[in-house]
């Protein structure tokens, strides 16, 4: 049976991710963080979603989440992404249109792998179960990004994180559709 917080369109977390990722410059910022700092975008989105509930996680909590989701990312999401990217310039054996159709199918499977990861993360820890209360969503978001940086032992590109924080602030002010 589906809980009130879930819908046929996926968990509240998945719905947030789709809405957030569609905002201008968010996809590019997420890709920059993924490529330049090794960020798991799904984990980052999870932390930002928690921030909308004014929940700030510690670096230890982020590390625990990473420990629980890392194997899925490494065995499914990353290999699918690698194949999809390789097919941008496929070997000449297959006709370009057929190769692009295959790449589109791989992209859909990659998105499904990410959705499954997010749904599992949603079941792992809902906002009321994780972190501490922060004074505001913005404070929680900054704290969560800092906790992730601490856990990864690297500084994230500032322009990318500021883009995401600004987009989150803009998303919070919009009425729910």
Rounded CA separation 16/127 (Å): 13
**Is there a domain that residue 7 lies in?**
no
- Residue 120 class from Cβ within 10 Å (0-12 exposed, 13-18 middle, 19+ buried)? middle
Rounded CA separation 138/143 (Å): 8
Count of domains forming the chain: 1
**Is there a domain that residue 107 lies in?**
yes
**Is there a domain that residue 48 lies in?**
yes
Q: Which domain holds residue 164?
A: 12-171
Number of Cβ within 10 Å of residue 117's Cβ equals 19
Q: What is the mean pLDDT of each run of 10 residues along the chain (177 residues)?
A: 51 94 96 95 96 96 94 96 92 91 96 95 79 95 97 96 95 51
**Is there a domain that residue 69 lies in?**
yes
């Amino acid at each position: 049976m589906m809980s009130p917080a879930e819908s046929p369109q996926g968990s509240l977390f998945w719905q947030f991710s789709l809405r957030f990722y569609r905002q201008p410059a968010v996809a590019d910022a997420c890709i920059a963080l993924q490529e330049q700092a090794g960020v798991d975008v799904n984990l980052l989105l999870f932390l930002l979603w928690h921030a909308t509930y004014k929940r700030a996680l510690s670096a230890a909590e982020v590390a625990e989440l990473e420990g629980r989701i890392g194997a899925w990312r490494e065995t499914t999401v990353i290999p699918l992404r690698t194949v999809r990217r390789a097919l941008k310039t496929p070997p000449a054996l297959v006709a370009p249109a057929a190769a692009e159709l295959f790449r589109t199918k791989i992209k859909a499977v990659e998105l499904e792998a990410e959705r499954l990861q997010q749904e599992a993360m949603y079941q792992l820890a809902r906002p009321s179960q994780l972190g501490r209360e922060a004074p505001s969503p913005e404070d929680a978001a900054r704290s969560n990004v800092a906790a992730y940086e601490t856990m990864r032992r690297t500084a994230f590109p500032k322009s990318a994180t500021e883009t995401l924080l600004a987009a989150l602030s803009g998303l919070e002010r919009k009425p729910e559709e």
